[in-house]
Amino acid sequence: MRALIQRVNKAQVVVDGEMIGSIGAGMVILLGVAEDDTEWDARWLAQKSANLRIFHDGAGKMNLSLLDTGGEALIVSQFTLYGDCRRGRRPSFDKAAPPVQAEALYELFVQEMDKQGVRTATGQFQAMMNVALENNGPVTLLVESDGARPAKGKAKS
């Protein structure tokens, strides 16, 4: 699972001319689900995102998390994060999860963020969306669960 996280002052998502979600200060999370992702990936990535220390403390250092600041999260499904552009001129999306699996894990990610106390807003799964944001910093990070996933047969921590 991949999350492209942007620290923002504000953001909103519009579908068919109607604003369906907006946040103030916090982060926009563009979330991509791969075909081999599981519930473990969604839970791990939600915990990582909520606790990622990318907000400034009193000394101006990136030392505070979304939970520390009381910030909000706009979470938008983004299968194109699994677009492979290494060959040809058209991206291949072979590694992206099929829609039913992707939607279930996307919804689980949102629920896990809510459980941690993060106020969330979302886009609309499989819709054409216009996302507007005011980037703060700019700070943009790619966070992936793949390297953190426990090896098969080993205990999960």
Q: pLDDT (tens digit, 9 = 90+) per residue, 79-127? A: 999 999 999 999 999 999 999 999 999 999 999 999 999 999 999 999 9
CA dist., res. 8 & res. 72, Å (int): 9
Strands (E), the chain: 2-15, 18-23, 26-32, 55-56, 62-64, 72-77, 119-122, 130-144
Q: What percent of the chain has pLDDT over 90?
A: 92
Q: What percent of the chain has pLDDT over 70?
A: 96
Q: What's the token pair of residue 37?
A: 């992702």
Over 70: is that where the pLDDT of 42 sits? yes
Q: Which helix (H) or strand (E) holds 113?
A: helix 99-115
Look at residue 150 in the predicted model and tell me its pLDDT. 76
Dihedral of the CA atoms 124, 129, 134, 136 (nearest 10)?
A: 60
Domains of the chain by residue range: 2-144
Active site amino acids: 78-80
CA dist., res. 30 & res. 44, Å (int): 16
Q: What's the token pair of residue 67?
A: 């939970």
Mean pLDDT of the chain: 95
pLDDT in tens, 49-77: 999 999 999 999 999 999 999 999 999 99
pTM: 0.92
pLDDT band at 157 (very low <50, low <70, confident <90, very high): very low
Task: Please name the fold of domain 2-144.
Answer: D-tyrosyl-trna(Tyr) Deacylase; Chain: A; (3.50.80)
Burial state string for 11-24 with b = 16 or more CB within 10 A and e = fewer than 16: bbbbeeeeeebebe
Look at residue 106 in the predicted model and tell me its pLDDT. 98
